[in-house]
Structure 1
């Protein structure tokens, strides 16, 4: 008999650990029930003394008659009744952790952090960088704060987040990584994960994307990453570009801390932007219409952006070019998988 599923889920509701719990409960109840049956057969039950109502609707006569299959069906039904959908959802959700180092913040000075779901026994880790464009001067950042504050502040981050796609805990949706340790880092630095600039009295915003990643990795080492076999740093859009900018730095950080056995890999999804000329020139007053080349040239100074060391040396004086995949990729030592649509909507937008 297949157990019912929660709304919006393609996986059965019943879980093996819960079934084992129900079995243990049943085994504990069997002796007392059998004893009660023997007392009844022996005639020692006193008339007038009422029997307590059975707390769990299990028919133990099936066990006495050797019909274990029938009894197991009852156990499954009991397990399902004890496992509501809300509990199932909670077990799958990633939980919010704010960084212990409070000096590393989002744009507006609120604490940065990450969502995490542990997978006991797994030595595989998936760390995902969220995307969401960027801003490159005070005007564009002020506009972004008014219209997309979630990408600049942690003030309204929920306590939990449900993973989807490569972060999904469902093997049907995510056959290769469903049982890995999942970490999702929300994007609140607006700097393509490159900044290293704190908020001061003279500056309205902090840009600490590269430092956020460094601090998250540092904290994860106390949560099991120190024994990891594989760390996949993944990201989409600006997060994908963030992978290209940070994957070697993460590998070097782990190596410097003595964790050379961790294999660091990158997955850049939709983050391979081109510095081609726009079809129609604009005056670069907003993020969407400004050419990537001009926006990054302005942004890298505004963010105090950090690029991979080898790429920076190769393009000295034009470090901004390291934000573009075909320039930075040849300088990387860590293996990186690149996923990019031939007709990328974001690229077409900035190309005008």
Structure 2
């Protein structure tokens, strides 16, 4: 019945859009009931008085507003807000502890826009540092306790009032469980104790999404906040290149980096670099990329000497080398 109601209301809107004043008069007695009633097809008709426009434009516009509000359940309010968890088919690409990496997906049938969001959550740079992180923030290193579904908000919301520009796009949320600023390509080893496969996780998600409708997309927006925002800078060109290599050069890839602009601040005093809090940003990233076996964009890497790839983690150094359009936010 809801589907029939949506069609009926849409037809009424079409009548308003194409009909002149004479058409409204002529048809008003035929299509306007005095109250909600059943149509022959089992749907419902909406009481809209087309003759009201002559006497009272405000009254007519109120009816249009009521019609729009009745159409709203045909779209946003009837959407399932929950994103469903999908574990990666490629089981060799994992979270830190070897558990399966994955993503949450809320499909929007008919939409050719995709929003892929990278979660943030800082990082760890040594075996000892990561052990503490695993004890205190395990959900950022393991998928074992991930819920089967999530309700999104903000830019991932399916409500147009909250998310007016992207509410009806295909929404993908990739949980952060690699602790490597989405840069690593290293499987779990005895020495490191953990896998660092952030960049590979993004690649595998993109490949899987091609089988879920991404293959017909016009636009993919790679977005993220904090460590996820830096992950956007490190991976936006890689995602575009991957799609081209797989035969989809027509998909436009853009980036949205929120609070992912690492600052190379100098320390006021010298401290032992025992964790990410006491380390200077440069030293922390230098240690991290060796521990994670990080991959940085080739265009950025070529700007620096061998061993100085860590520079590409800092926004003001990598941004000028990016080929794809990236919007920067600092909240």
TM-score by length of structure 1 reads: 0.73
Counterpart secondary structure, 2:97: coil
For 1:202 and 1:302, the matched residues in 2 are separated by: 10
Q: CA offsets per residue over residues 119-174 of structure 1, 9 Å max, x none?
A: 00000000000000000000110010010000000000001111111101000010
Q: Match for 1:118 among 107, 125, 138? A: 107
Report the Cα offset of residue 286 of structure 1: 2.0
Q: Report the counterpart of residue 94 of structure 2 in structure 1.
A: 105
Matched, 1:221 2:187: no
Aligned residue in 2 for 1:306: 295
Query: Contact 2:97 / 2:195 at 8 angstroms: preserved in 1?
Result: yes
Alpha-carbon distance, 1:253 to partner: 0.2
Alpha-carbon deviations, 1:310-332, whole Å to 9, x = none? Answer: 11111132000100001101111
Distance 2:8 2:302 in 1: 62
Conserved 8 A contact 2:223-2:229: yes
Any idea what SS the aligned residue of 2:220 has? strand
Partner of 2:330: 340
Shift of 1:20: 5.1
1:291 to 271, 280, 289: 280
The aligned counterpart of 2:309 is 319
Task: Tell me, yes or no, if structure 1 residue 328 matches structure 2 residue 294.
Answer: no
CA distance in 2, matches of 1:205, 1:144: 12
TM-score of the pair, normalised by structure 2: 0.78
Give, in whole Å, the separation in 2 of the partners of 1:70 and 1:299: 65
- Give 1:89 deviation, angstroms: 8.7
Alignment partner, residue 145 of structure 1: 134
Change (3 A) 1:119 1:138: same
CA contact (8 A) 2:225 2:259 kept: yes
Structure 1: segments with no counterpart, 5+ residues = 1-14, 24-65, 77-87, 342-352
1:69 aligns with 2:35: yes
Name the Cα RMSD after superposition. Answer: 2.3
Q: 1:229/1:286 Cα in 2 relative to 1: closer, same or farther (>3 Å)?
A: same
Instruction: Give the Cα separation in 1 of the matches to 2:120 and 2:4.
Output: 37
2:186 is the alignment partner of 1:197? yes
Residue 235 of structure 2 is aligned to residue 269 of structure 1: no
Residues 89 and 304 (structure 1), Cα distance of their counterparts in 2 relative to 1, 3 Å cut:
farther
Structure showing greater radius of gyration is 1
Q: Name stretches of at least 5 consecutive residues in structure 2 with no aligned partner.
A: 10-31, 46-76
Cα deviation for residue 263 of structure 1 reads 0.6
Paired residues, number? 273
3-state SS of 2:143 partner: coil
